[in-house]
Structure 1
């Protein structure tokens, strides 16, 4: 039986190490689970913005690392549309392709996963 692991990315990209650590954790977990789900929620949607300049604040640019998700067979990527709206963003401003999924639908679909890990 495959155990589903769900990661909720809710931290802004450069406010702490959480964004980098959450991505690293999801990539590492893909070695032990074939069913990884990532949900961008709240300030976590800011991790997906195109044209970030983290070098300006002496931070590592993690956005290119998201390209590894497909290589690691992490294909279920979702974003909370309400979080985008609350921040004045649209899907066109995101650097990678993610599927919209409301908070209610997310918890209905994945609330019974083996583990939900929030960063």
Structure 2
């Protein structure tokens, strides 16, 4: 597997999984001009997909959560979920703090398809 393709591959796997649970309303959807993209979206959720935690950026959720932010992209206030595929086995204190700050913004963090399935019900 080419490391340049890991993001789209992970999004595809996760999108296929979500599709077995709910109707997809968006997949790999670009919000132009270069505002953001929706990795996977349903009627109720916007799911940001990351292959590994190292790809997570804390500030990327502002456009989905803060209605006063420039380029706000979630007018129907869908639930925002961060899915990280690679298990966080030995989580560092710094990672825990980042996860807590992301959660405090209103993002639901999941680290397995089993956790995601529970959230999607």
TM superposition score category, shorter chain reference: 0.3 to 0.5
Higher strand proportion (structure 1 or 2): 2
Instruction: Provide TM-score, normalisation by structure 2.
Output: 0.38
Relative contact order (alpha carbons < 8 A, sep ≥ 6): 1 or 2 greater? 1
Tell me the TM-score normalised to structure 1 length.
0.39
